Structure 1
Amino acid sequence: MIKSVLISTSWIFCILLLITMFPVIAESASVSLTEESFDNRTCFECHDGREVIKVLDTSPYAENGEKRDLVAIPPNLYATGVHARMLCTDCHHHIVHLQPPHQAEGLKKVDCASCHEALAQSGEQKAHAPPSPGNEKVRSNIKKYRSSFHARPNRDNPDFPNATCHECHDSHFFSIPMDQGSPAYGRWRLTINKLCGKCHEDQIEEYDVSVHGIALKDKGNLKSATCIDCHTAHEVTGAHLEVFKLQSPDTCGHCHQARKKTYRSFYHGQMTKIGFSETAKCYDCHGSHKIFSAKDPRSLVHPKNRLKTCQKCHDGQRRPLATEGFASFSPHDDAMDYDQAPQLWIAARFMNVLEWVVFVFFSLHTVLWWYREWRERRNETGSSGLAMSGLKMEEGSRHFQRFPLVWRVAHLLFALVVMILLLTGMILFNTESSWAPALVRLLGGAAKLGFVHHVMAVLLVSIFLLHIVHVLQHLFRKKGFDWFGPDSLLPNRKDFTDCIDMFRWFVGRGEKPRFDRWTYYEKFDYWAVFWGVAVIGSSGAILAFPHIAGEYMGGWVFNVSIKLHGEEAFLAAVFLFTVHFSNNHFRPSKLPPPDVVMFTGSLSLEELQRDHPAQLERIRAKGELDSYLVEKPSVAMVLGSKLLGLLLLATGLVLLFMAVSGYTW
């Protein structure tokens, strides 16, 4: 009996002990279950998408009590993403409860950027841990994103950005195929526009019917442009911003390289390249999303629509009104394609031939002359030596007046204007050079340079016309002037024979010609100005008043004028700063430079006898030498002239470097 009671008592004690310990055991079991259950399989029990589950919508856009579908993450798709080996709570670290609501506080957005940056920092702290290429790429994209339009606060809800990483990438399934030739990469390309279209519905509707959309979706051309090809994936900016406008030709040119090249060859492309955003870009003429073939009647550049398209900018208010002739301008004419642009092809070939003839002839002339003088100076012999025989003592101490004051002033002004024109103009024709955009910014921008260029052009033409008036007035006042005599700048037979004799002297086959007042190379310099001003001036006038020129001559004249204007300016720059400088400043008999006769107006009789012996003999024979003699220029005048000459020489050589380095051969 006692034994039975003891057994019963023991059982009762055990039962009471179990009852007492149950809360502790239950809590321990609960904690253990919770810790073990925070794996992805537990999350997928509700979030696998097999059934639609409605939950309270806590987003800032939801109305009170509104419900939404629970986010569905099919496990098989999650397994294909780059985050497949991560736990859900690695990103959703604010989740602390197994049962909903999972988070202790309100709904929080996952911050992809902070996670990847922390990952990189932890790797950097390990001395032997090289940076992950994948994570470095992500960090680079994060930096781009934070300065983009998508990262800005949303207008309707400033607490949230316009777009997050997850909204574009879907971090649960994110996996971009690296092999661009793989079928998977092609399938991914086809999803890009649909993804962007979730927010940009109107733009996608236009894109779908465009040449790009049809080529991609209907024809399966995976090289056709998608949203990110034009707007980029992470550096998305507003299309109204200057940075987007200036970059757009390069963006389009990534696929349309030939069109980009021709666009850059003419005014719109040239101005854009040097940083002026107010000229037409690709999308101004062709459209942005709704782009059609130029042969399609819906295209903005179709012949029936082209005038209206041009008048968007050339509207008669900001710019002169575009006319039918103006609108026939083709911004993509190729100077190498005769069938496409015969007038431009002829102009380009003409200028190429002219440049080669001038450069080859005068390069040979300059090199041979320099070598002959150098050899004579080394041997201290030759007909170019200074001979003082026959000169009176008082004559040797005075100078010969070669250029009157009006000529010297005109020459100086002309030189300054030409240099400024070359500086401001060569920038436009050498936009592919490394120095052009930087120089534009340094000088105040493209608009200011254009204004300066136009002012200088007016001054150049004015100086040129005043010179012609002055010369004609002088000729008509001078009775019995010999138009082909030694005082005339018109070419004559002696100039041709002198040129031939000069080459014979270069190679030691004859004596040096005895030049009179004007040499054949000086006459060439003089008349080259007439040719240059005529070509550059007329083409410049056409470009300055395109609405008038286009109305009466047609749009083809713009491309021809641009070609002539640029090529003739290049020819002038190279000729002036090589041949002209060498003839007048860098020949051995002229060293050290500069020769200042064009600034002082006079030269010694020794120099006159060396360079123009026939003139000196002729004047002395007539007994007129005294009327040409003047006092030697003062030391201050000579010093100032040399400093000015050195400055102009240095400027010219810099301009020469700019012209040659930026020229497209």
Structure 2
Amino acid sequence: MRISKLTAWMMLAAVCLTLPALLRPAEATAAVDAGSRGAPPAAEKLDNSTCLICHGAKADKLTAPGAEGKPRTLQAIQENQFGKGVHGEMTCVGCHQDITSSKAPHKKGPAPKANCVTCHEALWETAKQQNLTRERARLGIVVQNIEAYKNSFHARPSTDDKTRPNAACDDCHDSHYFNVPPRGTSRRTDWHLTVSKVCGEQCHTDQLESYAESVHGVETMEKKNPKAAVCTDCHTTHSIANTSKDAFKLLIIENCGTCHLENFLTYRDTYHGQVTKLGYTYTAKCYDCHDSHKILRVDDPQSKVHPDNRLETCRQCHDGKKLPLATAGFATFGPHANDHDFKRYPQMWIASRFMHWLLVFVFAYFWVHSLLWWYREYERRKEGELRPRVRVDELPLAEAKQVRRFGPLWRLAHLLFALSVMTLILTGMAVFYSYTDWAPVIMKALGGPQVAGIIHRTSAAIMLGIFFLHLVAVAINIWRNRKTFRWFGPDSLVPNWKDLEDAIGMFKWFFNKGPRPTFDRWTYWEKFDYWAVFWGMAAIGGTGMLLAFPNVTAAIFPGWVFNVAALVHGEEAFLAAVFLFTVHFFNNHFRPDKLPPPDIVMFTGTQSLEEFKREHTLQYRRLVESGQLEKYLVQAPSQPMTLGSKVLGITLIICGLTLLVLVTVGFFGGHTPHSFTQ
């Protein structure tokens, strides 16, 4: 090829101009070039392309000093994945604002290091100032998560490196590729299934190993079942709490219940579940029985709740030290028994149906009885119908006398019995209705379930003691009067045919179809009150004893006895409470002919002649005809005694009605235990 003379001269000139620069040092060359242009040196370009020259996936591996001087490998950035993340449109120095030089080691400016928290909080503040909170609502959710994280266990300083938290945002969310797929998409499902792997591989390797073998882990990691639990379903996403704290122990129960609702509700029916609902954690929780991470199916021989392993599991708590040692029946107790599955729990089904119909019969009969009685008495008073009166002037000193109905021991026994029963209702129903707002308040005031349990059992001992002393006294009385005592006579509390006739006669009178029956020493409703206590002592007292000594019970009976005992104990207590504070209070204090309350005969032991004749006409006539009435006449109670009795009566009525309100709120206030769930 031939070169023209013009081209040759041009090439020679270029070499001459370039040669001095090639012979100078590089710094001098840059200065001369800049000086020749009359401009300052060019600033370094810190765009993403520049950063990826060293930090990209194709670059050599980079390291930096880590904890205790040990080198740590820096992450290599996949450009394609970065572009798909939520931060894909940002520049590297948008987060790493402290980097001011592209050359390693980087020069650092005064700006803080990259920090997810401060960045997102600043963005949210800007959004609020610009009134863009609706358009950038996602930022608000992020800030809420940040607040939850700040109070979490993850945010606390690591024990290995105090300069770092236990887990930072980018430990769980890769800050370069982070991108939560939209809900309802298959990508969201795939992302959800990776949660346990992220938690386990990053920090919790031992837990991941156990979880992988569990029923949850098999479902998510092998079967790809998105409905099975991953770490965040139990531990939450950002409010990660210390697992040794009560708050977490209580939360984990609720989280289990989001998936296992039926088992959760039946667990709440047990004493274990009622105590935890009250906010205390010393009773068994889900993971105490089922394990925390290695949860296996019941039929798995390695499962803690397999029939062969249950007794040993129960003995984790019932170890013979703090609690009596668990005996054989514990293994067959149904912690998730219900009363609507006859095939699996026939005893519970039968017991619940019996209690259900007992409650329906008692309340239906006596509430109708009370309402009709109130209406009939109200109509009588409205019509001005006069009560029958006795001519007290015909009796010597009658104006200062009253009829003795109850002696001092009977009155004291009644008072102690009433106080013990009310205490039992308060302490028992606070557990029975643990899901109400009032129950935790009562329990805290009592000093917690353990103290309340002592109060409950002490009150039960008083109630049962009074009952048995009463039986002894009655037996002695019958023995002393064995020659004259008649089992079905007027002085006996044993029901007879006249009681049935009186009950029918009262309903006729309610509908104005006949006269009001005349009663003897005991009315049929008083006899019902009396004998109901015998049933109550057998039902409530008997089941209470079975529950109070579980190791003895389980050594004799199978575990389902606990389930039936708990059901009967709770529902019979409900029956007693509602009956006492509605029907019993009405019969003795709130009938129109008794107003204003209270009736104090049970506190003073005496009754006016007028009321005695009206209420117990046949006994009055018999005493008058036999000339024995004066034997029963006593001095009327003093004014202080009368006033004190009224104050005591009103106080007990207020306490009883308050308990009735609490029980009513519990019954209608949410999940109701046992047979009322249907």
User: TM-score, normalising length from structure 2?
Assistant: 0.91
Correspondence for 1:53 among 61, 64, 67: 61
Q: Residue 20 and residue 127 in structure 1: after superposition, are their counterparts in 2 closer, same or farther (change >3 A)?
A: closer
Q: Which amino acid aligns with 1:430?
A: Y
Indicate the SS of the match to 1:494.
Answer: helix
Matches of 2:76 and 2:31, distance apart in 1: 43
Q: Which amino acid aligns with 2:289?
A: C
Indicate the SS of the match to 2:67.
Answer: coil
Correspondence for 1:614 among 611, 618, 631: 618
Task: Write the mapping of 1:150-549 to structure 2, written as runs, cut at 5 A.
Answer: 150-179=154-183, 181-197=184-200, 198-381=202-385, 384-388=387-391, 391-392=394-395, 394-478=397-481, 479-549=483-553
Q: Residue 616 and residue 29 in structure 1: after superposition, are their counterparts in 2 closer, same or farther (change >3 A)?
A: same
Q: Is the 8 A contact 1:268 1:279 kept in 2?
A: yes
Deviations 1:556-602 (CA, angstroms, capped at 9, x unpaired): 10000000000000000010000000111111001111111111111
Q: Residue 273 and residue 242 in structure 1: after superposition, are their counterparts in 2 closer, same or farther (change >3 A)?
A: same
The question of 1:42 aligning with 2:50 is answered yes
Deviations 1:413-439 (CA, angstroms, capped at 9, x unpaired): 100100010000011111222222232
Indicate the SS of the match to 1:320.
Answer: coil
Matches of 2:313 and 2:110, distance apart in 1: 53
Q: Residue 583 and residue 24 in structure 1: after superposition, are their counterparts in 2 closer, same or farther (change >3 A)?
A: farther
% identical equivalent positions: 47
Deviations 1:247-297 (CA, angstroms, capped at 9, x unpaired): 222111100001111111112111111122111111111111111110111
Matches of 1:635 and 1:112, distance apart in 2: 79
Deviations 1:187-228 (CA, angstroms, capped at 9, x unpaired): 101211111012100100111111101111221211100001
Matches of 1:508 and 1:584, distance apart in 2: 23
Shift of 1:325: 2.1
Q: Which amino acid aligns with 2:402?
A: H
Indicate the SS of the match to 2:647.
Answer: helix
Deviations 1:444-486 (CA, angstroms, capped at 9, x unpaired): 2111111111111111111111111111112212242122111
Q: Which amino acid aligns with 1:495?
A: D
Matches of 1:498 and 1:550, distance apart in 2: 46
Indicate the SS of the match to 2:403.
Answer: strand
Matches of 2:462 and 2:109, distance apart in 1: 75
User: TM-score, normalising length from structure 1?
Assistant: 0.93
Shift of 1:135: 1.6
Q: Residue 72 and residue 388 in structure 1: after superposition, are their counterparts in 2 closer, same or farther (change >3 A)?
A: farther
Q: Is the 8 A contact 1:230 1:251 kept in 2?
A: yes
Q: Which amino acid aligns with 1:412?
A: L
Indicate the SS of the match to 1:619.
Answer: helix
The equivalent of 1:4 in structure 2 is none
Q: Is the 8 A contact 2:390 2:610 kept in 1?
A: yes
The equivalent of 1:8 in structure 2 is none
Q: Which amino acid aligns with 1:48?
A: G
Shift of 1:385: 4.3
Q: Is the 8 A contact 2:199 2:231 kept in 1?
A: yes
The equivalent of 2:597 in structure 1 is 593
Q: Is the 8 A contact 2:493 2:522 kept in 1?
A: yes
Deviations 1:373-426 (CA, angstroms, capped at 9, x unpaired): 0000011116x5445478537324421111111111111110010001000001
Q: Which amino acid aligns with 2:559?
A: G
Matches of 2:265 and 2:38, distance apart in 1: 75
Matches of 1:542 and 1:109, distance apart in 2: 65
Correspondence for 1:656 among 660, 663, 668: 660
Q: Which sits farther off after the overlay, 44-53 or 125-134?
A: 125-134
Shift of 1:24: 5.1
Shift of 1:21: 5.8
Correspondence for 1:579 among 580, 583, 606: 583
Deviations 1:310-365 (CA, angstroms, capped at 9, x unpaired): 11111111111112222211101111111111111111110001000000000110
Task: Write the mapping of 1:87-166 to structure 2, written as runs, cut at 5 A.
Answer: 87-104=91-108, 110-126=114-130, 132-166=136-170
Matches of 1:554 and 1:335, distance apart in 2: 17
Indicate the SS of the match to 1:170.
Answer: coil
Indicate the SS of the match to 2:397.
Answer: helix
Matches of 1:636 and 1:154, distance apart in 2: 72
Indicate the SS of the match to 1:424.
Answer: helix
Deviations 1:471-529 (CA, angstroms, capped at 9, x unpaired): 11122122421221111111111111111111111110111111111000000001111
Q: Which sits farther off after the overlay, 581-590 or 104-113?
A: 104-113
Indicate the SS of the match to 2:106.
Answer: coil
Matches of 2:204 and 2:424, distance apart in 1: 47
Matches of 1:595 and 1:226, distance apart in 2: 63
Instruction: Please provide the CA RMSD for this pair.
Output: 2.3
The equivalent of 1:7 in structure 2 is none
The question of 1:80 aligning with 2:87 is answered no
Indicate the SS of the match to 1:399.
Answer: strand
Q: Is the 8 A contact 2:34 2:40 kept in 1?
A: no
Q: Residue 83 and residue 442 in structure 1: after superposition, are their counterparts in 2 closer, same or farther (change >3 A)?
A: farther
Indicate the SS of the match to 2:344.
Answer: coil
Indicate the SS of the match to 1:116.
Answer: helix
Q: Is the 8 A contact 2:98 2:113 kept in 1?
A: no
Matches of 2:29 and 2:637, distance apart in 1: 126
Q: Residue 337 and residue 613 in structure 1: after superposition, are their counterparts in 2 closer, same or farther (change >3 A)?
A: same
Q: Is the 8 A contact 1:484 1:491 kept in 2?
A: yes
Indicate the SS of the match to 1:561.
Answer: helix
Q: Which amino acid aligns with 2:67?
A: P
The equivalent of 2:11 in structure 1 is none
Unmatched runs of 5 consecutive residues or more in structure 1: 1-10
Q: Residue 142 and residue 385 in structure 1: after superposition, are their counterparts in 2 closer, same or farther (change >3 A)?
A: farther
Matches of 2:596 and 2:271, distance apart in 1: 42
The equivalent of 2:5 in structure 1 is none
Matches of 1:557 and 1:255, distance apart in 2: 29
Unmatched runs of 5 consecutive residues or more in structure 2: 1-15, 22-27
Q: Residue 202 and residue 391 in structure 1: after superposition, are their counterparts in 2 closer, same or farther (change >3 A)?
A: farther
Matches of 1:354 and 1:123, distance apart in 2: 64
Matches of 2:531 and 2:407, distance apart in 1: 19
Q: Is the 8 A contact 1:52 1:69 kept in 2?
A: no
Matches of 1:439 and 1:129, distance apart in 2: 43
Residue-pair matches, total: 644
Matches of 1:238 and 1:501, distance apart in 2: 69
Indicate the SS of the match to 2:607.
Answer: strand
Matches of 1:540 and 1:54, distance apart in 2: 71
